[in-house]
Structure 1
Amino acid sequence: MKMSRMKTLGVIALALLICEGLNRRIPAQQNSSRLPPYPKSNIIRDVRWAPMETVIRKAKGGDNWPVTWARDGSLYSTYGDGWGFEPKLEEKLSLGLVRIDGSPTDFSGVNLRSPTIEQRGQGRNGRKSWGILSVDGVLCLWLGHNNLQGGESTLAWSEDHGGTWSTVDWKFEEFGLMGFVNFGRDYQGARDEFVYAYSHDGPNADSPADHFVLMRAHKDHLLKRDAWEFFVRRDANQQPVWSKRIDERGPVFEHPDSCLRSAITFNPGLNRYLWWQAIPQPPGHPDRGDTRFEGGFGIYDAPEPWGPWTTVEFVPAWDIGPGEHGDFPTKWMSEDGRTLHLIFSGDDCFCVRKAVLVTQ
């Protein structure tokens, strides 16, 4: 009896130890996406945000808001599922175009009507734009939800500042959230003659991936599908290896189950690339890409578009809704690169918040 009882107690104790170990491991697995994927930046020590009450909100009812600095000196952006700036459109658009003029504290937005790019249909049933770029006087857009089911991307362009648009006759079925790496005014200050683009490595715009991919095409041929080549890896000298074969692409940034909506801008004052990335909602959430009203993001920096990346800031829960998309337009950066303004889609608006980078 005594021996049998001791065995029973031993089994119970062992079971308790196993359960305790599982309880310790499970939260770590569940929260792995809530931890920064790369070490702290040795260039940018901190980000100091202006108080939340200073955030400017306009164009309520629209989201996304990728931006580029065009040849005419204006910022151009697109919105999704909204009515644009005041005076608002009577019809809600899946994709609308706007021009923004002025300073980050005193700006105005104008709705640009362009039947050849405006899209209808809400959510997955309407095309959206996740990325916009001005290069040599031409505006380019990545159109997502191209299959009208939440997947695919294709490329559109305008040679008259958004008045009329054309679309290429090819698509990327593999990528659902494509964007451009933005530099200065009309692509001034670019590192070379190539246009760089990126996407989370997945076909659907609302499903997180384990990593991001990078691709490029010469700026004179970016409308040709066979001009695009894909980042494979960095070699022993940290130089990029490229391939024309899309199936040879490799990760340029890794964060398991956490790569989704994002934007990259070059900061010339600091000579660093800044990558804003929304942190998807946790598994089980009805819409993991919806961080308009609550959620967090990471900001990463690198000396080149292909890295190596380090963490500037990682905030699982910001003090206000961060939105699904965030951009640091070069036009609204100080000359030394330390004062920035984030354009983001928090609370389903065109939002602007000042940030000061504290460097080493």
Structure 2
Amino acid sequence: MRSRLLGIAGGVVVALVSCTACVGASAPAHRQTSSAGAPLRLEVADAPTVRAGADGDLWPNCWASDGALYAAYGDGKGFGGAPSDIGVTRITGTPETGLHGTNLAQGNELGQVWSGAGYTRKPTGMACVGNRKYLAIEDLAPDFNKAPASTIASSTDGVHWKWDTTKPMFSGGVFTTVMFLDYGKADREAPGDYVYAYGLDGNWRDSYSHVVPDPTQLFLARVPRNAVQDRAKWEFYQGSSRGKPVWGSAIADKRPVLTDTRRSPQGNSVISQGGIVYVPALRTYVYTSWSENTFEFYAAPQPWGPWRHTNSVDFGAYPWTTAKFGGYGLSLPSKFIAPNGRTAWLQSNVCPCAPAGMSDYDFSLRTVRLVGSVR
């Protein structure tokens, strides 16, 4: 996404309950040491060490039944070919053995623009459920400061995609940045018969022009596994009763599972389009967010929470160097999480258009350690 991105201070609200104690836990992870009794936190490398050799950003991804990683990019060429606002790729290999990517589909093969001239399509989430792949696509304003509509396309092979061509699934800037919960290979770790997805209102990150409110809340929905593209079957988290989540079909009644009103030193919000993944070995869920100058990490024992801000990693103000830099569009691909849940690889990007002094516009991975206790 060729946009200028910036990016901690304030207060955290988790599952609608104030958590002012979380504010003091925002020091950079790579400047802290861990102990056996310390709460879970993510420690990340200062820069990526593995790149796939692609052109593009965002890269929401899912681990398919064929063993490959399917990942979607914005504003690039992917692994060769003509530039496009959106594309889907198939990536094989591992960070340790090397990655190989192939373009599968681009542009109009994946979806359409709903919001008029100047808007472009951007991938926000992917899910591999059984043998089917789902791709969430939002309309993004020319200045990247508003996301008014989105829809979901599906495919069995990653090449041929289908979606409702008559109307978007979500509109009015409500739940339009859709991020699927990553439950591992072919969604096999998912409990029950539902696919879960998180959403942001208004925009995919801080709206610099303030044309819409900055996202400060993370919402949750579920849909039967066999009805992901049927908007009428979606249910939204509406709070809890006696410790159990309450679901309802009215999107107007949705309640956030996480609210974080902190701002970066540059004044940006810290809830953004990232990734949410389940780590089976730790029995915990991890949300990777960002303000660009900072990475923001959260953990929860259930999809609906309670969510806790684990830590921030602060990469400082521009200019950055290739030896140490932050980025946007964070995700922890489930395929690359170690069986013990303690090491993983984080994907992020830096746009060449940003005044960062460098760029990292590729499927780029850096090492992560999950340290401390999950309870």
| Short-chain TM bin | 0.7 to 0.9
Aligned amino acid, residue 149 of structure 2:
E
Aligned mate of 2:76, from 61, 71, 82? 82
User: Could you say what secondary structure the match of 2:109 adopts?
Assistant: coil
Q: Does 1:69 align with 2:63?
A: yes
Aligned mate of 1:162, from 153, 158, 163? 158
Counting only pairs closer than 5 Å after superposition, residues 164-313 of structure 1 correspond to structure 2 as: 164-168=160-164, 169-173=167-171, 174-202=174-202, 207=207, 208-237=214-243, 239-256=244-261, 257-279=269-291, 291=292, 295-313=293-311
Q: Is the 8 A contact 2:204 2:272 kept in 1?
A: no
User: Could you say what secondary structure the match of 1:325 adopts?
Assistant: strand
Quickly say closer, same or farther: Cα 1:34–1:314, change in 2 above 3 A: farther
Quickly say closer, same or farther: Cα 1:302–1:98, change in 2 above 3 A: same
Q: Does 1:341 align with 2:339?
A: no
Q: Partner residue of 1:25?
A: none
Q: Partner residue of 1:14?
A: none
Higher relative contact order (CA 8 A, sep 6+): 2
For residues 312 and 343 of structure 1, the distance between their equivalents in structure 2, rounded to whole angstroms, comes to: 19
Q: Is the 8 A contact 2:147 2:202 kept in 1?
A: no
For residues 206 and 48 of structure 1, the distance between their equivalents in structure 2, rounded to whole angstroms, comes to: 24
Counting only pairs closer than 5 Å after superposition, residues 87-126 of structure 1 correspond to structure 2 as: 88-89=80-81, 91-105=82-96, 106-113=98-105, 116-117=109-110, 125-126=119-120
Q: Partner residue of 1:47?
A: 42
For residues 38 and 247 of structure 1, the distance between their equivalents in structure 2, rounded to whole angstroms, comes to: 30
| CA displacement at 1:343 relative to structure 2 | 1.7
Q: Is the 8 A contact 1:130 1:144 kept in 2?
A: yes
Q: Partner residue of 1:323?
A: 327
Q: Is the 8 A contact 2:270 2:296 kept in 1?
A: no
Quickly say closer, same or farther: Cα 1:63–1:333, change in 2 above 3 A: same
Give the unaligned 5+ runs of structure 1: 1-29, 280-290
User: Could you say what secondary structure the match of 2:282 adopts?
Assistant: coil
For residues 162 and 296 of structure 1, the distance between their equivalents in structure 2, rounded to whole angstroms, comes to: 33
| CA displacement at 1:191 relative to structure 2 | 2.0
In the superposition, the TM-score normalised over structure 2's length comes to: 0.75
| CA displacement at 1:302 relative to structure 2 | 0.6
In the superposition, the TM-score normalised over structure 1's length comes to: 0.78
Q: Partner residue of 1:8?
A: none
Q: Is the 8 A contact 1:151 1:205 kept in 2?
A: no
| CA displacement at 1:210 relative to structure 2 | 2.4
Quickly say closer, same or farther: Cα 1:146–1:166, change in 2 above 3 A: farther
The CA deviation string for residues 71-99 of structure 1, in whole angstroms up to 9 with x for no partner, is 111000011001112xx21x211001111
| CA displacement at 1:134 relative to structure 2 | 0.7
Counting only pairs closer than 5 Å after superposition, residues 25-44 of structure 1 correspond to structure 2 as: 31-32=9-10, 39=22, 44=39
Quickly say closer, same or farther: Cα 1:214–1:273, change in 2 above 3 A: same
Flag the structure with higher helix content.
Answer: 1
Q: Is the 8 A contact 1:84 1:98 kept in 2?
A: yes
| CA displacement at 1:43 relative to structure 2 | 7.2
Q: Partner residue of 1:140?
A: 134
Q: Is the 8 A contact 1:170 1:225 kept in 2?
A: no
| CA displacement at 1:60 relative to structure 2 | 5.2
For residues 245 and 150 of structure 1, the distance between their equivalents in structure 2, rounded to whole angstroms, comes to: 21
Q: Is the 8 A contact 1:263 1:326 kept in 2?
A: yes
For residues 328 and 104 of structure 1, the distance between their equivalents in structure 2, rounded to whole angstroms, comes to: 13
Number of residues paired by the alignment?
310
Aligned amino acid, residue 186 of structure 1:
A
Q: Work out which of the two has the higher radius of gyration on C-alpha atoms and give 1 or 2.
A: 1
Q: Partner residue of 1:17?
A: none
Quickly say closer, same or farther: Cα 1:205–1:354, change in 2 above 3 A: closer
Give the unaligned 5+ runs of structure 2: 1-7, 14-18, 27-36, 208-213, 262-268, 317-322, 351-359
| CA displacement at 1:264 relative to structure 2 | 0.2
Q: Is the 8 A contact 1:80 1:129 kept in 2?
A: yes
| CA displacement at 1:59 relative to structure 2 | 3.8
The CA deviation string for residues 104-136 of structure 1, in whole angstroms up to 9 with x for no partner, is 23211112235621779xx96211111011102
Aligned amino acid, residue 83 of structure 1:
K
For residues 37 and 171 of structure 1, the distance between their equivalents in structure 2, rounded to whole angstroms, comes to: 36
Quickly say closer, same or farther: Cα 1:164–1:65, change in 2 above 3 A: same
